Structure 1
């Protein structure tokens, strides 16, 4: 009997140690994230053409004179601070589109894939929505659109691709990738080509890379771009605005 109790105690201690090691590893992993740079933080201020609302869950850029009934929801890349996308969000707001960046738990869209529901519920004045996601954020933005086709009219993949099959989706899609992206490579797109919505426009930004879609410095494993971050984002904005006109 004493031997049995000792074995049970040893098993419980072993399980506890494994759980503690796993928890410590997770905390270390999520604490090592890409923070927004000074340009992104400066863009969090309201301007003449739009107002910024910054809450623990969302960063909302609302045009002071709305021109469109379409709104845009942004899911950040994995381990990237939400503020990193404030510049592209501010430019969209300048063009009359309410744009909401979703803050993800632990900076991972995996833990907040359904948060777009709250955004949509909070803005009944918007009649149609477009999901936009960078890298890992694009995967879960796509998943949300597939699971809620009645709510979403378009998906914008920034250096990303669907993991769940979206080929039968009714929404339109835009895929943007930098030619020097070393994290989302051409074979990643081609291997998942049959999962994209049938009505998808594929665009490559020559000289662009992975991390320049946001403002969070450089990213490990990526190639340097041969165009400036500003130029890549200007081309991105132009492509997005053209895409939005087709919805």
Structure 2
């Protein structure tokens, strides 16, 4: 009997040890993420053209004039602080679009793929919604849109592609990537081409890369761009505005 109890204790201790190792590894993994730079943090301050509301779940950029009834939701890339997309969100707000960046648990959209639902429910003044995401954020923005096609008019894939088939989606889509992107390559897009919504416009920004869509420094595994971060974001905003106006 003592032998059986000792064996059970050993099994329990082994399971506990494995659990603690996994928990420690996960904690280490999620604690190492890309932080928003000073330019992004500056964009979080309200101006004459837009106001900013920063909560524990969302960062909302609201135009002060010429406010559109179409709203834009942004899902951040994996392990990238939500604030890193403030510059692009502020530019969209200046164009008249209420733009909400979703803060993800552990900075991973995997754990908050349905958070757009709370955004939509909170903003009854918005008639139509476009959802977009950068990198892994684009994957889960697409997942949300597929499950809620009655709520979403368009999806924006920034250096991203669908992980599940969205070819029969009722919404339109816009795919934007940089020609020098080392993480979402042309081959990646090509291999997943049949998963994109049938009505997708594909844009490649010459000289652009992966990390220039946000303001969080240099990302490991990516290539250096031959255009400035500001130029890539300005081009991206222009294409997004054209896309939204055409819905």
- What does residue 240 of structure 2 align with? 240
SS at match of 1:173: strand
> Which residue of structure 2 lines up, in the alignment, with residue 13 of structure 1?
13
User: Does structure 1 conserve the Cα–Cα contact (< 8 Å) formed by 2:67 and 2:98?
Assistant: no
Name the structure 2 match of 1:63: 63
Asked whether the 8 Å contact 1:66–1:98 carries over to 2, the reply is no
| Cα distance in 2, alignment partners of residues 229 and 146 from structure 1 | 31
Q: Which residue of 1 aligns with 2:125?
A: 125
Alignment of 1:52-131 (within 5 A): 52-131=52-131
The residue aligned with 2:165 is 165
Post-superposition Cα deviations, 1:203-234, rounded to whole Å, max 9, x if no partner, equal 00000000000000000010000111011111
Would you say the 8 A contact 1:43–1:87 is kept in 2? yes
Q: TM-score when scaled to structure 1?
A: 0.99
Partner of 1:178: 178
> By how many angstroms is 1:140 displaced?
0.3
Aligned residues: 247
Runs of 4+ in 1 over 6 A off after TM superposition: none
Mapped pair 1:49 → 2:63: no
Correspondence 1:140-219 to 2 at 5 A: 140-219=140-219
Query: Are the aligned partners of 2:131 and 2:141 in contact in 1 as well (CA < 8 Å)?
Result: yes
What is the CA–CA distance in structure 2 between the aligned matches of 1:124 and 1:223, rounded to whole Å? Answer: 41
Aligned equivalent of 1:24: 24
Provide the rounded CA distance (Å) in 2 between the counterparts of 1:187 and 1:24: 35
TM-score, length basis structure 2: 0.99
Q: CA deviation at 1:191?
A: 1.1
Cα deviation, residue 190, structure 1:
1.1
| Cα displacement (A) at 1:67 | 3.1
Give the secondary-structure state (helix, strand or coil) at the position aligned to 1:124: coil
**CA displacement, residues 87-111 of structure 1 (integer Å, 9 cap, x when unaligned):** 1100100011000000000000001
In structure 2, C-alpha distance between the alignment counterparts of 1:150 and 1:32, rounded to whole Å: 37
C-alpha distance in 2, partners of 1:82/1:66? 26
Structure 2 gaps of 5+ residues are: none
